[in-house]
Structure 1
Amino acid sequence: MIWSKPKDKHHNPTDEQLLQQYRETGELDILGRLYEQYMPLVYGVCLKYLQDEEQSKDAVMQIFEELIVKVTRHEVKQFRGWLYVLSRNYCLMQLRGEKKYETVAIDDVMESAFVLHPDTDDKEEYLNALQRCMEKLNEAQRQSVELFYLREQCYKEIAEKTGYTLNEVKSFIQNGKRNLKICMEKHGGR
């Protein structure tokens, strides 16, 4: 058996050090080294939202291309968390672009949030705010709203999947939409 000596911290730069090196040099192989260790995380996020292996593999590469530009424009304090949000937002935009969920209805619910926050024209910022508000919903409302809008499931399918009654599902969706609207109006998702 061959024993390898422990790796020296100086030979394994931190995420922050790699980011700084990339920003200073613009060398893609540095960013590639950083991204490579998080590719399984990114793939998992993509698979969760896109629910298609090939589409998720393509998304991993597209997200890297976005990363090349966005990592120089944004202050990144914790790369892993920031990359997770970037990946999730990319997938949500893909779903929105493919009309896999009813965008008009969810936008109608949030319409007043845009009126109250006219500077919220950045879709990424809007999606982040919407995600924060979704996380504030109770479990039953969040699950019902996600299944109804993001997965385009009908009341009956949601009831079968969750074990809630049909009336409970309708109530959770209605109350969830109302709570999302209030959250977006009041806090912009904060």
Structure 2
Amino acid sequence: MFFSRRPPSPTELSDAELLARYRQHGAVADLGVLYERHMPVVFAICRKYLRPDEDAQDAVMQLFEKLIDTLRRHEVAHFPAWLHATARNHCLMMLRSRQRAGPESGPVLVQFPDAAGVESVGAAHLTDDAEEQELTEARLQALEHALAGLPAAQRRCLELFYLEKKCYRDIAHETGFDLSLVKSHLQNGKRNLRHALTSPPNHTSSANAAR
């Protein structure tokens, strides 16, 4: 008599195995187990940006719904780090929406943690330790100012690529730019943002104006 081997339970699989199986089969139960493992940290990140706790809880659930689609389409190499960055960006998007509704939300920064070059520069201005460090008003304003100083096309491409996780082709379709121009805007935008953050204050404006 032959016995068929049962598929492993989601709880028996590593993060990478759960991601691979979810991409292959699309079973939300697999994603649910994976997300639950990291939910305490995700909730802690959301609480840093959103108050009251009910808003943070809503953000945690909204993020899971977003991952259902995103993780079927995008391959993620380092899930915990990617998830933490995605959670921060999700909260920042919520804050930006509130800011558009009124000034009481204060300055809001769009950050692009997937960009290694921008991330290394941002560390000097914005501590990327989501576990412990508090984001200060001055650092948020510095990065927000640097981002706002980019040409509109560069800023839009950065938002679509890093914040909304769109591919080059989707960005080209949404903006009307051809693929080569999309790549150019992303490359130049990261370089200009890096330059703005590392230049002395009295040189930043002239450097941006030159571009």
Which has the higher relative contact order, 1 or 2, with Cα contacts under 8 A spaced 6 or more apart?
1
Quick one: distance in 1 between partners of 2:34 and 2:146? 41
Quick one: distance in 1 between partners of 2:123 and 2:42? 20
Quick one: distance in 2 between partners of 1:138 and 1:54? 26
- What is residue 88 of structure 2 aligned with on the other side? 88
RMSD: 4.0
TM-score of the pair, normalised by structure 1: 0.57
TM-score of the pair, normalised by structure 2: 0.52
Alignment of 1:53 onto 2:53: yes
- What is residue 191 of structure 2 aligned with on the other side? 186
Quick one: distance in 2 between partners of 1:138 and 1:19? 30
CA contact (8 A) 2:31 2:68 kept: yes
The 1:43/1:189 distance shift into structure 2, 3 A limit, reads farther
Structure 1 stretches of at least 4 aligned residues deviating more than 4 Å after TM superposition: 173-185, 187-190
Quick one: distance in 1 between partners of 2:65 and 2:82? 15
Percentage of matched positions with identical amino acids: 33
Displacement of 1:179: 10
- What is residue 78 of structure 2 aligned with on the other side? 78
CA contact (8 A) 1:49 1:92 kept: yes
Displacement of 1:75: 2.0
Quick one: distance in 1 between partners of 2:66 and 2:80? 15
- After superposition, residues 19-34 of structure 1 pair within 5 angstroms as 19-34=19-34
- What is residue 122 of structure 2 aligned with on the other side? 134
Displacement of 1:71: 1.1
Amino acid at match of 1:67: L
The 1:30/1:176 distance shift into structure 2, 3 A limit, reads closer
The 1:148/1:13 distance shift into structure 2, 3 A limit, reads same
Amino acid at match of 2:34: L
Which structure 2 residue ranges, 5 or more long, are not aligned? 1-9, 100-104, 128-132, 151-187, 196-211
More helix by share: 1
Quick one: distance in 1 between partners of 2:68 and 2:37? 16
Alignment of 1:101 onto 2:106: yes
Which structure 1 residue ranges, 5 or more long, are not aligned? 1-9, 107-122, 151-172
Quick one: distance in 1 between partners of 2:66 and 2:138? 29
